[in-house]
Amino acid sequence: MRYTKNDIKNIPLTEFMTALGEKPVKSFGDMKLYYAPQRDDPEPMLVVDTKTNRWYDHATDQSGDIIDLAALKMNPNLYTDPHDFILKYMNEYEQGKELSAMAHQPLEPKVVTLDIRKIKLTDFMKALGQEHPVAADDNLRIYKAPYDPKGEPTMVINIETNLWRDTKSGAYGSIYDLAYEMTGSANMRELNLYIAGEMSNIQKVSIRQEPKEPPKQEADKPKRKMRL
């Protein structure tokens, strides 16, 4: 799942707190008590009402919704909009859950009926939600870096070589390197499934279990002949 700004109001505060690394200390019916994520308090002072999806801070007498909490938690030097902060943490949290679920799946190999090495990076960017580049210059296409919390236009794709590089971080490579930047996983199976899953947003992709080979039957052993 990939959250967008339209989803933010419906995100449960408890899920957002989990994405921030906070777990409830106590529960009282619809109320859950947490340590305030924006401070280093010795005691839990923040209460989340799961019914109204709002929070109240006993230490400061402040209250609000998920956007108000994000505005208090985010670093203003890195983020100017709390919506971007929420999306960054929630989408990383969802990706982590997906990778964890894949890691705990039965070890039956899966077949992705998609030649990933032939996928155009511009098509992959469409699957990631960027329909068009920010700018174009000859064979270069400039995009907002999807792995950058600020989403700055530092990612450049060469449509002739089908490779990319980041003018800010220096990262570069193929579609697999881009998937690594997005997921943090270096496992080829996980990267294949991640890329195929994203591409399924714009085209039909088949991901199926590899058929099991029937067990080999042992040939009948010749019966011993009786000695005369």
One domain, residues 77 and 135:
no
Residues in the chain: 228
Is residue 36 domain-resident? yes
Residue 66 and residue 121 in one domain: no
Question: Which residue range(s) make up the domain with 56?
Answer: 5-92
Q: Is residue 153 part of a domain?
A: yes
CATH number of 9's domain: 3.90.580.10
Mean pLDDT, the chain, integer = 85
Q: In the block, which residue shows the tokens 């011993």?
A: 224
Same domain, 116 and 163: yes
Tell me whether residue 59 is in a domain: yes
Q: Which of 37, 62, 92 is the last residue of a domain?
A: 92
Contact of 95 with 3, CB cutoff 8 Å: no
Q: For the chain, how many structural domains are there in total? A: 2
Shared domain for 129 and 68, answered yes or no, is: no
User: And the tokens for 4?
Assistant: 């967008």
Asked whether residue 74 falls in the same domain as residue 122, the answer is no
| Res 203: pLDDT | 74
Answer yes or no: do 200 and 120 share one domain: yes
pLDDT tens sequence across 142-180? 999 999 888 899 999 999 999 999 999 899 999 999 999
Within this chain, do residues 167 and 203 fall inside the same structural domain, yes or no? yes
Residue 185 lies in a domain: yes
70 and 10 fall within a common domain: yes
Residue 105 lies in a domain: no
- For residue 209, give the nearest of 116, 115, 109, 113 by alpha carbon: 109
The answer to whether residue 57 is domain-embedded is yes
This prediction's pTM: 0.50
Burial 108-141 (b: 16+ CB within 10 A, else e): eeeebebebeebebbebbbbbebeebeeeeeeeb
Pairing label, strands 110-112, 207-209: antiparallel
Task: Express each pLDDT in 92-128 by its tens digit.
Answer: 888 887 777 666 655 455 545 678 888 999 999 998 9
Task: Tell me the pLDDT tens digit for each residue of 44-99.
Answer: 999 999 999 999 999 999 999 999 999 999 998 889 999 999 999 998 888 887 77
